[in-house]
Amino acid sequence: MCFFNQTPSKTVKRRPPTRLKTLSRGDQMRNLVGGLLGIVAGSCSFVGLAGLLAPEPAYPEPFNTIWFILDGSWALHSTIPSIFNSQTAIVYLLSWIIVGMIIAPFSRKGWNTFRSAVWIGAFLAVFALMSQLLKDPSFWDVTLNPMRNYAIVYQSAMSMVASLFAMISALPITATIERVRRTAEPPIPEKIVTVCQCGAVFKSNPLICSECGATLRKSDD
């Protein structure tokens, strides 16, 4: 007769699959719109604060009508090397503070605000590249500019880093908006207890008493 050493099987508890918090389509659109409006407002603010004039020669039509956005974006994308200039630092800081004020209503507290900054960096890189190509079409010719791809990557990286300056005002404003929104919400009751005239106690808010059939509240409450 064979005997087997049987050991009791252990029950393995499997963890429930973690649900990743996905960004809703509404939040994505708010971040995108906020980023676009923010960089447009920031570019216009820089042009106004710095007192820039329309470039000569002008941009080709119809881009000459948005020269202030293109020139402002070109200036803002070089924030990192220009912020250390004492004569222009205040203009750059004020422009980015305005950008942060614009994106704050379109963002939520926390990492959602940084998603708006990513959109700012993307739009800033596009507008800055448009400005350079419209002023110097030969920039795109690799034979004349063999470092074109490197320059584009460098400009995009500088735009992404520069967009973080918008957090100076965006983070405090989004935190304040979230705090005001929470204080405006009605407080959650600690517990719900309903007592019928017959003495039955319910830990809920039923329409009708299950013991005596009395109406406890109207259905439209």
The verdict on 139 and 217 lying in the same domain is no
Domain region containing 176 = 25-184
Distance in angstroms (rounded) separating the CA atoms of residues 11 and 117: 48
In a domain, 10, yes or no: no
- pLDDT tens per residue across span 188-218: 666 677 778 787 777 777 777 777 877 777 7
170 shares a domain with 93? yes
Task: For 126-151, give the DSSP string.
Answer: HHHHHHHHHH-GGGG-TTT-TTHHHH
Q: Give the separation between CA 41 and CA 46, rounded to whole angstroms.
A: 9
Is 34 part of any domain?
yes
Rounded Cα distance, 43 and 151, in Å: 21
Q: Are 211 and 106 part of one and the same domain? A: no
209 and 159, same structural domain? no
Reported pTM: 0.70
**pLDDT at 1 (0 to 100):** 47
Pair (124, 165) in one structural domain: yes
- 91, 49 contact by CB (below 8 A): yes
Q: Identify whether the C-beta of residue 52 lies closer than 8 Å to the C-beta of residue 43.
A: no
d(CA 221, CA 210): 19
Q: Which two tokens stand for residue 199?
A: 């003495």
Q: Which residues pair with 201 in a beta bridge?
A: 195
Yes or no: say if 58 and 64 are a contact pair by the CB < 8 Å rule: yes
196 in the same domain as 145: no
127-167 per-position pLDDT tens digit: 999 999 999 888 888 888 889 899 999 999 999 999 999 99
Domains: count for the chain: 2
pLDDT at 31 over 60: yes
Displacement of CA 217 from its chain's centroid (Å): 44
